[in-house]
Chains A and B, each alone.
Chain A
Amino acid sequence: MNVPLLNLLPKQEKQALLNKIANEKAIHFIILITFLFILFLLFLFGLKLSLKENKNIILKQIKAIESNSFITKIKNNENKITTFNKILNKISTLDLNNSSILVEHLYQLTSITPEGIVFESLSIRDKKVNLTGLAKSRQILKDFKTLIEKNLAVKDKEIIFPLSNFETPEDINFSISYFFN
């Protein structure tokens, strides 16, 4: 059984109490938000530390993997691919209109090369061909020169054949240059 619950507290005092409650609740709310914000910051800080730690671990693992022979092989292949790409790049800069003439000339050159002649280097620039190599004998070298004059489209039939090519009778390091049409 409840006895009547009267409250003779003046209305303005009740309002003052309610204001006090409102202020208290606002302060509690601010404290709560601040606390949650600090928690969030701590969480982010922890996350950062954790990521940093993970990053170090991953870098270490990468280094360990890189030191592995398999990776070394891959790296070598990478270098080869890079070189090949460079060559491809150079080829792409070639004059494709003249490429068929060049190929034909090289084909003819190799077809007339007698046994006993081994090329060491070949360079073709602006239709000038420089050949170096090793001839088994003086006769074979002379024959090779004659074959070039007769069979290849040598400009003005002029072949630069230095006298040093005749210094030794056998195993001659020769050098031949000419322009072709």
Chain B
Amino acid sequence: MKIKLFDFNFESYFKKNALALEISDSEVTILSLKKNKDKYFPETWGNWTIPSGIIEKGRIKNQKALLTLILNWFKKIDDKVIFHRPAIVSIPEETFFSRVTHISEDPSKSDTFEKIIEKEIEDHFPLYPSEVYYDYNVLNTNPKEHIDIFLGASPKTVINEYVNLIKSLNLYPFIFEGESLAISRAIINFDKLKIEKPTLFINIGNNKAIFIIYFKEAPRFTAVLYFSFSENKNEKQKFSLNNKLQEGFLDEIDRYLSFYEAHPLHEHTAYKAVSKVIISGCKDKIIDNLSASIAKKLTVPVEICHVNNMLRLYGVSQLSPVVVGLAFRAIEK
């Protein structure tokens, strides 16, 4: 019989003081939230624009320049508020591979469980297990025939880039998770949703859109689409998608939905088609336009999740669902 001297919960110890950090190609956002009677308010918030060329498609191209920029921004707030805090960091979705997979062995009983996981990575991800850092969650704890596992992995080179950056920023690397998970958490927690039928989350960022088909307790499909805004000087149309781009968007969505419906990944359900679309993001006008277009083209209801409005009362704008999802991870039990 094992006697535990310290039943130490690694995550909860650091969560209390954690800082969410989203580093995208065009922006750096930090956020930490406090919850008071179902209402959230910002404890720390900052949002800065990164010049182009420093980060490209999630890969840090010029770490020195990025470090100098971020350190200067952080110092402007308050060294004590930011530095030496545990960081919850988003991994670019382009480099994050995830999948719900099924295994027949109970992880608590099997000695070879890690090897089974590595075999799953080898079979379904485009990298060898030795080339990635991976983690998994057991989704159903009382299986009849097999166990569903949500498996996520990211190349070691990418993770190491971000670990080095976080350390150089005088922060402690604490949690690294894919953007799709942070977005899903932001939408689900914000609207207190229960996803009983497959639902498409679309998150519109500054230069990329992330598509997530979420069902029950995990994302089942994710995709990334890059775009650029029209450079129309008319203020009303400044942040809008031109017709061609919008059509392209709708075609992509159609393609993703068709792919998902054609590849049912053992969801243990009769629902194979996406039943709802939820759009989130910082650019309200794009979201409004896009939701109207999707509603016209698809026969499913389209909703908008105003995660970005969550903290506007406190003067916080341009709040990305990614950083909100990361911040939620710090405060959720």
Q: Which A residues contact B (CB, under 8 angstroms)?
A: 1-10, 13-14, 17-18, 20-21
Contact of B135 among A3, A7, A20, A21 (CB under 8 A): A7
A174 to chain B, nearest CB (A): 104
Which of B86, B133, B188, B194 counts the most A-chain CB atoms under 10 A from its CB?
A: B133
Asked if B319 is at the interface of the complex by the 8 Å CB criterion, the answer is: no
A6 to chain B, nearest CB (A): 4
Contact of A4 among B175, B194, B217 (CB under 8 A): B217
Instruction: Let me know if B135 and A1 touch, CB within 8 A.
Output: no
Q: Using Cβ atoms and an 8 Å threshold, which residues of chain A touch B160? A: 10
Contact of A1 among B136, B217, B329 (CB under 8 A): B217
Given the interface pairs A8-B135, A8-B176, the reply to whether A3 lies near B188 with Cβ below 8 Å is: yes
Instruction: Let me know if A8 and B217 touch, CB within 8 A.
Output: no
Q: Which residue of A lies closest to B175 (CB)?
A: A7
Instruction: Let me know if A10 and B150 touch, CB within 8 A.
Output: no
Binding-face segment, B104-112, B120-128, B151-159, B243-251? B151-159
Q: Which residue of B lies closest to A14 (CB)?
A: B10
Q: Using Cβ atoms and an 8 Å threshold, which residues of chain A touch B178? A: 6, 8
Q: List 9 A-B contacts (CB under 8 A).
A: A1-B188, A1-B195, A4-B219, A6-B98, A6-B135, A7-B177, A8-B152, A10-B133, A20-B172
Q: Measured between alpha carbons, how far is A3 from B192 in the docked complex, in Å?
A: 12
Instruction: Let me know if B152 and A4 touch, CB within 8 A.
Output: yes
Number of A-B contacts (CB under 8 A): 78
B180 to chain A, nearest CB (A): 9
**Chain B: interface residue count, which band?**
35 or more
Given the interface pairs A1-B217, A3-B188, A6-B150, the reply to whether A17 lies near B181 with Cβ below 8 Å is: no
Contacts A6-B136, A6-B181, A7-B135 known; 6 new A-B pairs at CB < 8 A: A1-B217, A3-B217, A4-B139, A7-B177, A9-B174, A10-B156
Q: Measured between alpha carbons, how far is A3 from B217 in the docked complex, in Å?
A: 6
Instruction: Let me know if A4 and B133 touch, CB within 8 A.
Output: no
Instruction: Let me know if B14 and A3 touch, CB within 8 A.
Output: no
Q: Using Cβ atoms and an 8 Å threshold, which residues of chain B touch A14? A: 10
Interface residues of B in 303-333 (CB under 8 A from A): 325, 329, 332
Instruction: Let me know if B193 and A5 touch, CB within 8 A.
Output: no
Instruction: Let me know if A9 and B175 touch, CB within 8 A.
Output: yes
Interface residues of B in 1-26 (CB under 8 A from A): 8, 10-11, 13-14
